Structure 1
Amino acid sequence: MLTTVAHSWRHGPLIRILAWRDISGRYRGSLLGSFWSLLTPLLMLAVFTFVFGVVAPTRWPGVEEQGIGMFALRLLAGMVVHGLLAEVLSRAPALVTSQPNYVTKVVFPLEVLGWVSLLTGIFHALMALVVLVVLDGVFGTGFSWTMLALPLVLLPYALLLVGLVWLVSALGVFLRDLAQLVGPLVMVCMFLGPVFYPREAMPAAAQPWLALNPITVPVEQVRRVLFDAQWPQWDVVAQYSLVSVAVYVFGLWAFSRLKKGFADVL
């Protein structure tokens, strides 16, 4: 199992080079450069805060009395976690088909493309997360030792995303309609996840189903360690980690089996 989880990291230098090329290439020629990775989540935060905090206020038990500032920070936490999923899954269907030379003309470890996509998304999520931690520390609930648990909360989430990217990218080679389906599914994860509201705001009968959303546990645990100054619910994180490793292993297995037919399709 450990060998499987560490499968792609033998290509670590290649992954780092490709990830940095992807990140730098995105902002090449733009006036603000990588500053867009900070500006974009702040602009989206302002829009969503205005819509869900002013125009159509969202009920958030225990937060209303803390003001719109804390609502905005909780909203940003959910947006950062969901934004990482949106970043990597939106690119997944075309991850292999957009690189035909890697499939047909050279011998290339295609599995690393999943890690490259994840690291690119993590870069932007990390920039937004830094903004979130600083704003919360200075203007929100303050800094706490529980913030150190953030990597432990997000690591299983990252493994799950890599597994999903492998699975979706492999299927995307054969099912081109998948690219049209992933976008709506990403939106469903946002609006049927605890991004704009807590789980308790949903009807009691629907709350257990919310756990099936891949962003639910990371969002709730990130808010717990940041705003409530409490350590993660280790039993919940452990269960989520088991599911993440299972998705990771299955995604890698499916990608390895299906990639034998990539060259014939491309």
Structure 2
Amino acid sequence: MNLMRNTLFATWRFRGLVRAISERDLRARYTGSLLGPAWLILQPLSMILIYTLVFSQVMHARLPGEHTSAFAYSVFICAGLITWGFFVEITTRTKGIFLEHANLIKKVQFPKLVLLVPVVVVALFNFLILTGLYFIFLLLVDAWPGWIVLWALPSIAALTFLALAIGLLAGVLHVFVRDVGQTVDIALQLLFWGTPIVYPITILSDWMREIVYFNPVVRPITNLQQLFLNGTVPTLESLAYTVGIASVLAVLAIIAYKRLYAEMLDYL
């Protein structure tokens, strides 16, 4: 708790640094690009269209139950893919923060965990733009669930916490063993298919469903899919497992950071 409180105070104290890093990261993505910020929309949109066309048109995937709408599968898959992209962006960016900001860490005295804040800010900025487009789509196809969409916030917060915990632990280890970065990338690819994003979890057999539920990403994402598809309000208890796993990983990450920080400086 002390570390979290100190990080919050440090974030406010070094808010200029946080803002500068966030703005630099956003600009760096589009420098020299003809389409500029349009790529923020085009890249995830192309992925969503590909998955939608492949599963709904080529493989004729259908959602079980009474979902007869032609856009039901699109509503389902967009909720999962947009949220998954947010989770992956925070995880992958966090695992590289110490190496990415090595010169800054060595030259400037500031609480280094403040570097996590720009990662979340940039990822949240991208996520909000895509979510806004998703909301417009829901309104156009008459699938807007109403203001119960605010119940998406606890699931998004749990995923953010999990992504930061995984990323920070991997980030500390990545400084010493560079294979950690590639290992995390492969693990995320496997985790994607182990999460019911492009397929509904109800199509799985009972024993397979029990295994899939060990994946801490499953509950927040299925909460969001059911919220937007069926208007089902998720319970906070459904996030207990995700938050518990994230808490354990966060404690491990902080212990590793505190014990290895001095040695990290020699490897940066």
Structure 1 partner of 2:185: 183
- State the secondary structure of the residue aligned to 2:42: helix
5+ long unaligned stretches in structure 1: none
RMSD between aligned alpha carbons? 2.1
Q: Which residue of 55, 59, 79 corresponds with 2:58?
A: 55
In 1: Cα distance, 2:83 partner to 2:110 partner: 31
Matched with 1:222 is 224
C-alpha deviation, 1:55, in angstroms: 1.7
Counterparts of residues 1-266 of structure 1 (less than 5 Å): 1=1, 3-12=2-11, 13=15, 14-62=17-65, 65-67=68-70, 69-266=71-268
Which letter maps to 1:84? F
The alignment of Structure 1 onto Structure 2 pairs a total of residues equal to: 264
DSSP-derived class of the 1:262 partner:
helix
Native 8 Å contact 1:8 1:111 kept in 2: yes
Shift of 1:65: 2.2
Segments of structure 2 that go 5 or more residues without pairing to the other structure are none
Residue by residue, what CA displacement relative to the aligned partner does 1:106-145 show, whole Å, maximum 9, x if unpaired?
3232212223222222221221111112211331422412
Q: Is the 8 A contact 1:153 1:221 kept in 2?
A: yes
Q: Deviation per CA, 1:135-186: give whole Å up to 9, x if none.
A: 1133142241211112222112111211111101100001111122122111
Deviation at 1:196, TM superposition (A): 0.7
Amino acid at match of 1:240: T
**Distance in 2 between residues matched to 1:48 and 1:63, nearest whole Å:** 22
Instruction: Give 1:221 shift.
Output: 1.1
SS of 2:37's partner is helix
Larger deviation, residues 244-253 vs 187-196: 244-253
1:196-249 residue CA offsets vs partner (Å, 9 max, x unmatched) = 111112221111221232321121111222222222122112443344334334
TM-score under structure 2 length normalisation: 0.89
Between the aligned partners of 2:87 and 2:69, the Cα distance in structure 1 is 29
> Alignment partner of 1:65: what SS?
coil
CA distance in 1, matches of 2:27, 2:39: 12
Tell me the secondary structure at the aligned position of residue 135 of structure 1.
helix
Give percent identity, aligned residues only: 24
Code of the aligned partner of 1:37: L
Instruction: Output the CA distance in 2 between the equivalents of 1:180 and 1:242.
Output: 26
